[in-house]
């Protein structure tokens, strides 16, 4: 029986870049794509050991993978990253803009540097990667770009205004790019995760009251796993979604629809 996690070679012969793939959601996506036959470029910034170990594990399992350092908010670094991937694997068919950061600060206390850094990594980074990769995809006849945004591309997030502003921007970046790139055969979609158990949520995971509260307000009654986001990323990256562009897919256990009865 074919079930979640089973492999059908959906990405055989494809080359994929996953940004921020040394941990969490990006790590799970890189693993899943490699299992489906893709050659995977595992981008990282600080987690070099984890990214290199993942590349070694995927290669040992018969896959093709390479770990590459780059700060996605740096245009020169992104150009060099994409050039290295094309040099190594010959082409690029799939981009997953996954790298992201968040910092809790009340609106009246946000300092300029944390605003700038959050917008640089979470919005400028996906733009730079999308533009650089799309130029490459134009040469090879198309591809699929998946941005990992957040339910906060739409749903307010008090205490995290730069993060929500960046993810809201990523929603419109996706929609514009989907229109401009469609004639080139490039599809662009977002995944909006809800509460997924990853290092970015370390503080929440360490607080049983917050975990309990999440379980109460998520209609499916639990936090999500990175692998559950990876399944939707696989769908959007593969030919199975060949008529899908300009959409956001929520992977959130229904939290975006949460409402209390009167």
d(CA 36, CA 232): 13
Q: Is 253 in the site for ligand NAP (CB under 6 A)?
A: no
- The set of catalytic residues is 163
Nearest distance from C-beta of residue 117 to ligand NAP, angstroms: 9
**Degrees (nearest 5) of the Cα angle 256, 257, 259?**
120
Does position 195 interact with ligand NAP (CB under 6 A)? The reply is yes
DSSP secondary structure code for residue 124 in this structure? I
> What residue has token string 């074919």?
2
Separation of alpha carbons 236 and 144, rounded Å: 7
Q: Alpha helices of the chain — where are they, by DSSP H?
A: 24-35, 48-60, 75-89, 112-119, 125-140, 161-181, 202-205, 208-217, 226-237
Selected binder of ligand NAP within 144, 150, 238, 245 (CB under 6 A): 150
Q: Phi and psi (nearest 5°) for 157? A: -140, 75
The set of residues, in sequence order, having a beta carbon less than 8 Å from that of 164 and lying 6+ positions away, is 150, 152, 156, 157
CB closer to ligand NAP out of 73 and 245: 73
Smallest separation (angstroms) from ligand NAP to the CB of 55: 13
- Residue 224 CA to chain centroid, in angstroms? 15
Q: Pattern 15-54, binding to ligand NAP, x per CB under 6 A?
A: ----xx-xxxxx----------------xxxxx-------
Rounded-to-integer distance, Cα 165 and Cα 102, Å: 11
Determine which residue in the list 92, 130, 148, 188 makes contact with ligand NAP, applying CB under 6 A.
Answer: 148
Which of 147, 55, 39 has the alpha carbon at shortest distance from 93? 39
Q: Show the binding pattern over residues 214-243: x = contacts ligand NAP (CB under 6 A), - = does not.
A: ------------------------------
Give the three-class secondary structure for 200: helix
Q: Whose Cβ is closer to ligand NAP: residue 118's or residue 144's?
A: 118
# of chain residues touching ligand NAP (CB under 6 A): 29
Q: Residue 73 or 144: which CB sits closer to ligand NAP?
A: 73
The binder of ligand NAP chosen from 38, 72, 92, 96 (CB under 6 A): 72
Contact residue for ligand NAP among 66, 98, 241, 245 (CB under 6 A) = 98
Among 71, 81, 181, 218, binds ligand NAP (CB under 6 A): 71
Under the rule (CB under 6 A), what is the footprint of ligand NAP?
19-20, 22-26, 43-47, 71-73, 98-101, 121, 148, 150, 193, 195-196, 198-201
């Amino acid at each position: 029986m074919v079930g979640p996690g089973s492999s059908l070679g959906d990405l055989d012969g494809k080359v994929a870049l996953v940004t921020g793939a040394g941990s969490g959601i990006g790590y799970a996506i890189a693993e899943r794509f490699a299992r489906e036959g893709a050659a995977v470029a595992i981008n990282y910034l600080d987690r070099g050991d984890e990214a290199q170990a993942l590349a070694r594990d995927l290669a040992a399992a018969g896959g093709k993978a390479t770990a590459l350092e780059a700060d996605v908010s740096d245009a020169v670094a992104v150009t060099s990253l994409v050039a290295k991937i094309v040099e190594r694997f010959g082409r690029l068919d799939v981009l997953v803009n996954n790298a992201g950061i968040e910092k809790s600060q009340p609106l009246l206390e946000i300092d300029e540097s944390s605003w700038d850094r959050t917008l640089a990594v979470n919005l400028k980074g996906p733009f730079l990667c999308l533009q650089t990769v799309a130029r490459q995809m134009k040469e090879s006849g198309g591809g699929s770009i998946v941005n990992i945004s957040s339910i906060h591309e739409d749903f307010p997030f008090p205490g995290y205004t730069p993060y929500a502003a960046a993810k809201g921007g990523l929603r419109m970046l996706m929609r514009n790019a989907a229109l401009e790139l469609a004639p080139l055969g490039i599809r662009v979609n977002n995944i909006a995760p809800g509460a997924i158990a990853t290092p970015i949520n370390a503080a929440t995971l360490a607080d049983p009251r917050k975990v309990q509260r999440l379980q109460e307000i998520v209609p499916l009654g639990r936090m999500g796993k990175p692998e559950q986001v990876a399944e939707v990323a696989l769908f959007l990256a593969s030919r199975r979604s060949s008529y899908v562009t300009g959409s956001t897919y929520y992977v959130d256990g229904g939290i975006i629809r949460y409402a209390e009865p009167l």
